[in-house]
Structures are given as C-alpha cells and as structure tokens.
C-alpha cells in the first residue's frame, strides 16, 4: 500500500505513515480508524468499540500463545524506510484496544504544536490596554471623588439639613427650569468669620438655554425666628438650610440647589479662564475694593475682578451698585466656562471645586454644563426692586412689593425680569406665592417711603 495521511492529526500538521508491505503484519483495525484493513480473508475479529489503531508497528510477541492470539504469522518485517516514517512510539507494547488508545493519546501529547506568535502578541497588547484603561478609570474616579469632597460640606449634619430644605430632584421634570441659591462669603485675611455679602437667586432653564440672576440686597429687611433681621443673617441663624428657607419664602419659589461662593478662590478661577470680559459702566477711583477702574469693556484679571465686585463706596447706587458688579462677574464666568476648550476643563473644574461649596456633584455639574455648550445662552440680570430704609437707627433695605411680585412673575415665565411691558402668562399671574415676600418685615405701604429714600435700585449706573 502507498503512504496515507492521519486525518486525526491537528489541522495544519498532518503526519504521513507508511503502510507495511506485508499486510499480514497489520494490527487489527479499530472502528473508525483511518488505517487500511487487511484483505477480507485475512481479517481478525473487530476490535473493541471505540478502540483506535496504533500508529506504530506491532511489538515482538513474548510467547507462541500471544503470537497466535494477536495476529496471523507475519510473512516478513517491514522495510527500513517504512520503519523510519512510522510513528515514533513503535516500542510501546500493545496488548489490546485499550492499550492502543492509550498509546495513541500519549502519542498526541508528544505532538509539537505550532506557536502562534501573532496571537500571543495581540493578547499581550490587549492585556496592557486593559490595564491602562482600568488605571485611568481608577485615577478619574479618584480625581472626581476628591473634587466632590472639596465641594461638599465638612459638616455632614448641615448637608443633611440642606437636602431636606431643597426641592427633591424627583419632583422636577426632565429639562424643566429650576432655582439655585447663590451665596457669597467674603472672608478676608484677618477675619475670624465669613460674611454672607452676596445673595442671588438664579433661575436655570436648560430647555431654553436661559439663566436669570436676581440680586437680593444683603440688608433686605425680613423676619427670622420671630425677630427683624437683615436677610444675610439667615446663614448665621440656620446655615445653608436656613438661608434656603428664608430666600425661598421671600421669592415664593422652591429652591432645588445651593452654591456658596468663596471670593478669594474665585480670583483663581478667573485667572484660570485667562480673565473675564466686563463692561464697566462708569469710571471710579479706588475705595474699599482697592482699585480704580475706567468706564468701558475690558478684560479683568482675577485680582481686578475681585476688587471690582467689592467696591460699594465710590460707585453709583452704593451697595446696589456693588450687587450689579457681582452679577457681572458671575455672568462673565458662566459665559467663559461654557466657551472654554475641552482641554482646559479639568484644570478649570479643579479650580471651581475649590471656590464653591455645593450640593452638586462633579458629574451633575458636567451634565448641567453640557446642556448649554454650543447653544446661544441668554443671561438676564436684575435686582429686587428696593430702597434704603432706616428703622430705629438701623439701616435696612425695604422691598417694593408690587414691583417685586411682577418681576418674579416674569422670571418664572422665562421673560426678561426688567421688561415691564412683557405679557405675563396666566399661570404666573394666578400664582399668588411668586414674589409674595411673606417673611418681609418692611412696611407694606412703601411708596411714599421709597420716593423719599436717598437711594434705590434705580440709582445704579446703567449697563448695556
């Protein structure tokens, strides 16, 4: 017989075996074997089911009985060439089908498989990439957690009280407008405690890419825990949650989020942005802010922006003028954060995290900012219609109730707060809580007092 291939050998590596010239020397073929069987007249009884033929020449028998039991008398030995090509395990004794199967399996163990170097290198590369991705994910998570910790409250009890005072997220529809309370603490070098110098109510409308910034004068006359106080005392009485509750009642709207701005760190944010563009409405010399400014649009550094936002002695409108400057700085920061390149966001977010304390998490802020990126942002700026008022020798700020109510109706409807000609929707007109200021301690009959007041919110230098 001629050469043949072992069809059971691994793909890509087939072994050739020589069939013995003397077919009398064949080992009986097992079922399913690919070896040629002897002629019909010379066949022995079939091998046990499942047995496989050995890939080697039969061993020399030890006795005449074995020789008779295993095969017919061989006629001649196989040629040397056939022995050379035969499977190398020819010396293994074979006594039956089980021995042949064992020998065959042992023979496969000795087969040397071809190594796939390309697949090995690919596996290594994928493993390295997986490690790098996992490492980056861990680093990112660590960074975000550190920022969350930086923005969060050190006093967890205060944080829990704040969350109870805020409107739960579950009560907000996706994309609907909501309110944020912004407080500014201006703890300067040498101060033993911070002061709430800035109080702003912001309405954020992601669906229409609109933000309203409404300043509430720090000396606004209100009732807190049964006594007449200035509204900036709300923080001293009840912390963040106390401030939220007082402002919410004064404006007549639920507040969903809170952010406390730290002035000194805000200076670093402005520098990180490369400065902020502000239209200074009037020229003035240095006063309590420590710097002089010239009228006109200009790029302010962090130090200049801080000085501009602090000035109240040498500007028109006094403290009302300072509140306007604070809104300008916040508005400029918002615009430039949204316009900042993606490559600058990590460093910018880090600076922002150090300058605010808030109930927001970093992912929440990123999600909020993404709703405005690439869109035409509309920013409205206004102040509670107010007047300077003296009661029992204490300087307060009184509220013009009718004007404040109409303003809050426009704000809640997404209209320009200062546009008195705007048509207010019926929904807002029927909402008696908007701008009700039920906790105000100022006189309800205020018109004559406001007209005789030496200072109102109308006295600030106008901005374009």
CA distance 402 to 400: 6
More confident site: 24 or 100: 100
Q: How confident is the model at residue 226, as a pLDDT?
A: 95
Instruction: Using alpha carbons, select from 50, 67, 48 the residue that is nearest to residue 59.
Output: 67
pLDDT, tens digit, 9 for 90 and up, residues 109-136: 444 455 556 666 666 666 666 655 555 5
Angle in degrees, CA 416, 376, 147, rounded to 5: 100
Predicted confidence band at 155 (pLDDT cuts at 50, 70, 90)?
Answer: confident
- Residue pair 309/280 in contact (Cβ under 8 Å)? The answer is no
Mean pLDDT of the chain: 77
Strands 227-230 and 221-224, bridge-based pairing? antiparallel
| pTM given for the model | 0.69
- How far apart, in Å, do the first and last CA atoms of the chain sit? 105
pLDDT, tens digit, 9 for 90 and up, residues 82-111: 444 444 444 444 445 455 555 555 554 444
For residue 42, give every residue at least 6 positions away whose Cβ sits within 8 Å of its Cβ, in sequence order, or none.
Answer: 23, 24, 72
Quick check: 200 pLDDT over 90?
yes
Q: What is the CATH number of domain 157-459?
A: 3.40.630.190
In the block, tokens 């042949």 appear at 100
């Amino acid at each position: 017989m001629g050469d043949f291939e072992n069809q059971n050998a691994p793909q890509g590596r087939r072994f050739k075996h020589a069939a013995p010239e003397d077919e009398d020397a064949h080992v009986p073929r097992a079922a399913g074997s690919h070896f040629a069987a002897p002629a019909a007249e010379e066949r022995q009884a079939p091998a046990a089911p499942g047995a496989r033929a050995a890939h080697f020449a039969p061993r020399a028998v030890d006795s005449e009985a074995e020789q008779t039991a295993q095969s017919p008398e061989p006629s001649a030995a196989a040629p040397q060439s056939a022995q050379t090509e035969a499977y190398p395990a020819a010396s293994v004794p074979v006594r039956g089908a089980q021995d042949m199967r064992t020998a065959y399996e042992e023979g496969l163990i000795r087969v040397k498989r071809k190594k796939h170097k390309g697949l090995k290198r690919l596996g290594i590369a994928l493993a390295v990439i997986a490690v790098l991705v996992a490492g980056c994910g861990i680093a990112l998570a660590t960074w975000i957690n550190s920022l969350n910790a930086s923005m969060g409250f050190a006093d967890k009890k205060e944080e829990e009280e704040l969350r109870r005072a805020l409107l739960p997220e579950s009560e907000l529809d996706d994309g609907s407008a909501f309110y944020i309370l912004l407080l500014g603490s201006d703890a300067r070098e040498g101060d033993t405690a911070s002061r709430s110098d800035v109080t702003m109510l912001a309405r954020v409308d992601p669906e229409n890419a609109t933000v309203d910034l409404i300043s509430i004068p720090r000396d606004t006359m209100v009732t807190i825990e049964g006594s007449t106080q200035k509204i900036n005392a709300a923080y001293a009485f009840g912390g963040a949650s106390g401030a939220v509750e007082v402002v919410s009642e004064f404006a007549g709207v639920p507040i969903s989020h809170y952010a406390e701005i730290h002035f000194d760190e805000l200076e670093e944010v402005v520098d990180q942005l490369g400065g902020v563009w502000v239209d200074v409405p009037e020229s003035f010399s240095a006063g309590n802010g420590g710097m002089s400014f010239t009228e006109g649009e200009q790029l302010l550094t962090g130090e200049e922006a801080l000085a501009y936002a602090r000035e109240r002695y040498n500007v028109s409108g006094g403290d009302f003028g300072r509140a306007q400057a604070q809104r300008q700085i916040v508005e400029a920061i918002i615009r430039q954060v949204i316009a900042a390149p993606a490559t600058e966001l990590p460093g910018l977010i880090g600076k922002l995290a150090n300058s605010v304390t808030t109930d927001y998490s970093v992912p929440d802020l990123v999600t909020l900012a993404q709703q405005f990126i690439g869109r035409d942002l509309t920013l409205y700026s206004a102040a509670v219609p107010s007047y300077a008022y003296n009661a029992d020798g204490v300087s307060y700020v009184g509220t013009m109730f009718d004007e404040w109510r109409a303003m809050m109706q426009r704000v809640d409807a997404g209209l320009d707060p200062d546009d008195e000609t705007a048509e207010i929707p019926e929904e807002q007109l029927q909402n008696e809580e908007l701008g009700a200021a039920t906790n105000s301690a100022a006189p309800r009959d205020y018109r004559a007092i406001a007209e005789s007041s030496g200072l109102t919110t109308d006295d600030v230098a106008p901005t374009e």
